[in-house]
Structure formats: C-alpha cells, structure tokens
Chains A and B, each alone.
Chain A
Amino acid sequence: GNSVTQMEGPVTLSEEAFLTINCTYTATGYPSLFWYVQYPGEGLQLLLKATKADDKGSNKGFEATYRKETTSFHLEKGSVQVSDSAVYFCALSWSKFYFGSGTKLNVKP
C-alpha cells in the first residue's frame, strides 16, 4: 500500500542552523509529493511540492528533491529562523492523500 514515514520530533535547532527533516514513502504508482507546514493554532499550508522524479520543490528557503531511487523527499533549509518553528508534514498523493505523522521543529534564538 501507500504510506509516508517521516522522522519523529521534536527537532530543536538554534537560529541559522541547517535543517533536514527526513521523509520516505512507499507507493504503488508514481505519486506527487508534498510538504505542508502547520503553525500553532492554524491549519496546514502548502510549503512545496514535486510531481515527478528529480523535481525539486522550493519555497521560502526550503527545498526538497523527489528521489525515486531512494523513495525519499527530505526537507532542507540552509538557515532556519525562529519564525520557522512549526509542525511539518510530508505527504503523497496517489488517488488520495497520505500524510506522515508530522515533525515538530523548535528554533531557539
């Protein structure tokens, strides 16, 4: 079946540190991949997406590359800010959406 596995949190970083949140997937077809962000008390917002292998999604300094050979879509940012503190969800879409369990990021000044 289809599923998404992402690293458990919380992840705690200092401001300006490098961020990686790992995400791997299992899919029966060729899904689109997504990262969503959820700020405290809010709904999920699309952060970035990639629709085919080797595509790179990017937004607000975040990047993720669709790696078919490793079935991964890791989220990276070169220099995090306190305002990036949120919960990040990896997801795939293949006839329906499958979400990971979320990774909470805490960025300290």
Chain B
Amino acid sequence: NAGVTQTPKFQVLKTGQSMTLQCAQDMNHNSMYWYRQDPGMGLRLIYYSASEGTTDKGEVPNGYNVSRLNKREFSLRLESAAPSQTSVYFCASSEEPDETQYFGPGTRLLVL
C-alpha cells in the first residue's frame, strides 16, 4: 500500500502565482486533512474533510481553498501565493473508530 501520497515534493513560487497541492490516499478513509508545519509552531490545521463532498475550515484557512474530488483525493489550492505561505504542507487521512491520522511525506513550498 502506498498510504498517503502528495505531489509535488518541492515547489518554488513567486508572489501572486497560484498552484494546487495534490493528495491521495488508498486506505479508503473518509476523513482527510491539510496541515502546515512551520518551525517552532508544530502542525496547524488548514482545512479538513470529514467525508466525500464536505469540507470545513481549520485553524488557519485564510489564503487557501480545498476540493474533495472523490473519496481518495483532497487538493489544496493557493490562489495568490504570499511569502507567509512558505511552509511544509502535510496531508493526512483517518477513519473512525480508529482516530489515528496517517500522514503523507509532505510538500515543501517556497514563495519568493
């Protein structure tokens, strides 16, 4: 099993450019999440999706949009990238009743 996969692994953007981060899971999980990780701040939840067709804001949603394309895929879009969005982005998935979240390898984003 591949688990949770993310593309791309690394991306450099200029301020104002847009891009979409892709995430897919093959564990048939209902819930999926997008986090950002910044030094000294742990992980902060951007958006999550409890099931196909639903999405909800997390702790830091401003500047991002998400799409739950189907049960497998959950994408994160930056419409107009800003230097403050330089970070490492992680996708995760989980399934009740097991609360464990399973993480992808991350996407490193640098916005110049």
Residues of chain A having any CB pair with chain B under 8 Å: 32, 34, 36, 42-46, 49, 51, 89, 93, 96-97, 99-102
Contact = CB atoms under 8 A, between A and B. Distances in A.
B2 interface: no
Contacts of B61: none
Nearest to A6: B42
Most buried by B among A42, A93, A97: A97
Contacts, number: 38
Interface residues of B, number: 18
B100 A49 contact: yes
A38 to B, nearest CB: 9
B100 A44 contact: no
A42 B105 contact: yes
Interface of B: 4, 33, 40-43, 45, 48, 90, 92, 99-106
A89 B106 CA distance: 16
B45 A96 contact: yes
Contacts of B99: 32, 51, 93, 97
A99 B59 CA distance: 12
A100 B103 CA distance: 16
B90 A44 contact: yes
A13 B26 CA distance: 38
Contact of B42 (A42, A43, A93, A101): A101
B7 to A, nearest CB: 13
B97 to A, nearest CB: 10
A42 B40 contact: no
Q: Which 9 A-B pairs have the closest CB atoms?
A: A43-B103, A101-B42, A93-B99, A44-B103, A99-B43, A99-B42, A43-B105, A32-B99, A43-B106
Contact of B101 (A51, A97, A101): A97
Contacts of A36: 103
